Amino acid sequence: MKPDDFEIMNDVQYDIAWCPGCGNYQIRSALMLALAELDLKPQETVIVSGIGQAAKTPHYIRTNVFNGLHGRALPAAMAIKAANPELTVIAESGDGCMYGEGGNHLMHTMLRNPDISVFVHNNMVYGLTKGQASPTSQRGFETLVQTADRQGVTSEPFNPLALGVAMNASFVARAFIGDTEQTKEIMKKAIQHKGFSLVDIFQPCVTYNKINTFRWFKNNTYYLDGAYDSTDRLAAFEKAIEHDKYPLGVLYRGLPRATFEENSGIYDVDKRPLFQRALDKKKLKELIQTKVSGL
Ligand SMILES: Cc1ncc(C[n+]2csc(CCOP(=O)(O)OP(=O)(O)O)c2C)c(N)n1
Ligand code: SF4
Ligand SMILES: [Mg+2]
């Protein structure tokens, strides 16, 4: 496949509603490249999102799309994968959507280990709603709500990678979209990984975050070197809490384990995806009646 096979503008023409210079453009490009290089077909790929600037990404890529409520991408992504394991399922949203409103879903999805990839556009701000602090905003970050006279944001920033390692998420990585090539490579590894994968992607919001700019991310990140052992969980935790400079690359890979789809029992006997099976209405009715009468 070629990246152009994922170009939605070949089918429909509309404006992309992101500011000029927004990091989301490169994330879109990196993802289209990753999908093409993995030879995935648009019709076999689903991108699921919530609400926000980042969550618009699937609208601008030619694949299947499910756009859920704010913070609710992951239950939908998990259900889609369970109903049709043949699909490649990617959930994509912002730091506010995945780590704030959707934080509880993130935690439990990590534990359940569905074979999906989660790409979080982390610009350390709520972009869509015009610049409020997000869970990953840094201490001292000033907004119209977290004002200068109150020293801006006063709480500790949410650490998605430390959470991932603590929850034994099966793949935990960080990328910086100033480097499209490396981001694409990390995305490919995440998609190919069997089980849940989280990639936190540093992405500047040029309009509402004048602190964490392209230059800031470049000066405050470094790549893990070839000697780093991503299967060492304690080393991964140490890397996850580094903040003098933030490490980029695959921080952690857990031991191979069963996915949510495998554990659910749906495919123990019948290997066909759920959507190919005829619905047994009588059985369903009986099941509902048992549940209702048990209330
Ligand atoms: C239940 C609910 N709460 C709040 C909102 C308002 N809202 C929409 S997007 C958003 C934050 C988006 O921030 P983020 O996920 O970081 O995405 P970004 O725009 O920065 O890419 C909020 C609070 C909403 N749509 N629904
Ligand atoms: S407000 Fe920020 S995140 Fe949203 S499109 Fe503009 S630069 Fe991008
Ligand atoms: Mg954001």
Inter-residue contact 253 to 275 (CB < 8 Å): no
Residues whose CB is under 5 A from ligand 3 (ion)? 94-95, 123, 127
Residue nearest to atom 16 of ligand 1 (CA): 96
Give the ligand with the smallest distance to the CA of 177: 2
* Rounded distance from Cα 129 to ligand 1 centre (Å): 6
pTM of the model: 0.96
Rounded to the nearest 10 degrees, what angle do helices 73-83 and 103-112 cross at? 30
Residues in Cβ contact with 70 at an 8 Å cutoff, skipping those fewer than 6 apart: 50, 51, 52, 97, 101, 102
Mean pLDDT score of the chain? 96
* Distance set, CA 196 to CA 23, 106, 112, 118, 201 (Å): 24, 10, 8, 8, 16
Give the ligand with the smallest distance to the CA of 123: 3
**pLDDT for the residue 17:** 95
Residues 219-272 have pLDDT tens digits of: 999 999 999 999 999 999 999 999 999 999 999 999 999 999 999 999 999 999
Task: Give ∠ CA 257-258-261 in degrees, rounded to 5.
Answer: 150
Q: What is the CB neighbour count within 10 angstroms for residue 216? A: 16
Residue nearest to atom 4 of ligand 2 (CA): 127
Residue recorded with tokens 């201490």 = 139
For the record, the structure tokens of 178 come out as 């100033």
Pocket of ligand 2 (CB under 6 A): 18-19, 22, 24, 53, 123, 127, 205-208
Helix (H), strand (E), coil (C) string for 201-236: EECCCCCCCCCCCHHHHHHCEEECCCCCCCCCHHHH
**pLDDT for the residue 255:** 95
Residues 91-139 have pLDDT tens digits of: 999 999 999 999 999 999 999 999 999 999 999 999 999 999 999 999 9
* Distance set, CA 283 to CA 188, 273, 277, 279, 289 (Å): 41, 19, 14, 9, 10
- Domain at 3-293: CATH architecture: 3-Layer(aba) Sandwich (3.40)
